[in-house]
């Protein structure tokens, strides 16, 4: 269950593909099983990595070792389950709350870039639901549902391990959803005219320049 969180975007996409296969089967379409091949490949790949990592950790864990992190950032179970995790369902929206840069290397424009990127990644899926059509809209829907499903995965694994919940679910748990969300943003931008493309490329060049300056430590927060 712990490794499932790291594979959250994969789990979500494979689930949708499974639903697509069932819908095709019910409607009597040919080659309905094709999406299941992708599901099998994803499950095999993710399962193999999880299994090998589990074996490696087990083989290199000292006898009697206890994880000191468990129980530090979550709370005791009180009342009904939804009282604990319902307020956290939207926590992964807004990727800027994930502490992407530590204090020793934080710069002013680095924080600006992080905030703008988080805003774009949060808004893009909802814009996709409105502006996109067909399969592209389905992709936007997956990106919208992804953060909520990530929170559920986090809370379920916390309950299974310690029978507690996280009062705050960090946005870092949804970091694997960023490529999917960026894809939706790309679909929204593909219909731009030539001038729009020029503006986007100029913005990309500016962002790249600011990233390099950020890495060099210019404008570091004291």
Q: Over the stretch 99-153, which tens digit does the pLDDT of each residue have?
A: 556 666 778 777 788 888 888 888 999 999 999 988 889 889 988 988 888 888 8
Q: Is 107 helix (H, G, I), strand (E, B) or coil?
A: strand
> pLDDT per residue over 144-188, tens digit each?
988 888 888 888 877 776 777 888 888 888 888 888 888 998 898
pLDDT on residue 10 = 73
Say what percent of the chain tops pLDDT 90. 9
What is the C-alpha separation between 76 and 168, in angstroms, rounded? 13
- Per DSSP, the three-state class of 171 is helix
Q: Where are the beta strands (DSSP E) in the chain?
A: 75-76, 164-165
Average pLDDT of the chain is: 81
* pLDDT at residue 80 greater than cutoff 70: no
Give the pLDDT score at 1.
44
Average pLDDT over residues 53-82: 73
The label of the residue with tokens 């074996």 reads 55
Instruction: Tokens 């490529």: give the residue.
Output: 179
Q: Are strands 164-165 and 75-76 parallel, antiparallel or unpaired?
A: antiparallel
């Amino acid at each position: 269950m712990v490794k499932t969180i790291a594979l959250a975007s994969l789990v979500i996409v494979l689930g949708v593909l499974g639903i697509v296969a069932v819908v095709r089967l019910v409607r009597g379409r040919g080659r309905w099983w094709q999406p299941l091949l992708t599901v099998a490949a994803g499950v095999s790949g993710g399962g193999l990595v999880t299994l090998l990592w589990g074996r490696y950790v087990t083989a290199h864990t000292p006898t009697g070792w206890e994880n000191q992190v468990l129980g530090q950032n979550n709370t005791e179970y009180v009342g009904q389950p939804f009282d604990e995790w319902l307020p956290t369902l939207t926590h992964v929206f807004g990727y800027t709350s994930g502490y992407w840069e530590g204090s020793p290397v934080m710069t002013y424009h680095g924080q600006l870039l992080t905030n703008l990127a988080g805003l774009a990644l949060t808004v893009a899926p909802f814009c996709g639901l409105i502006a996109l059509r067909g399969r592209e809209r389905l992709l936007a829907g997956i990106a919208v549902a992804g953060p909520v499903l990530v929170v559920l995965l986090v809370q379920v694994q916390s309950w299974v391990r310690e029978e507690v919940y996280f009062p705050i679910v960090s946005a870092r748990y949804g970091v694997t959803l960023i490529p999917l969300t960026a894809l939706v943003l790309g679909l929204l931008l593909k219909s731009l005219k030539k001038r729009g493309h020029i503006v986007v490329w100029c913005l990309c060049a500016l962002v790249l320049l600011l990233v390099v300056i950020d890495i060099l430590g210019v404008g570091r927060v004291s």
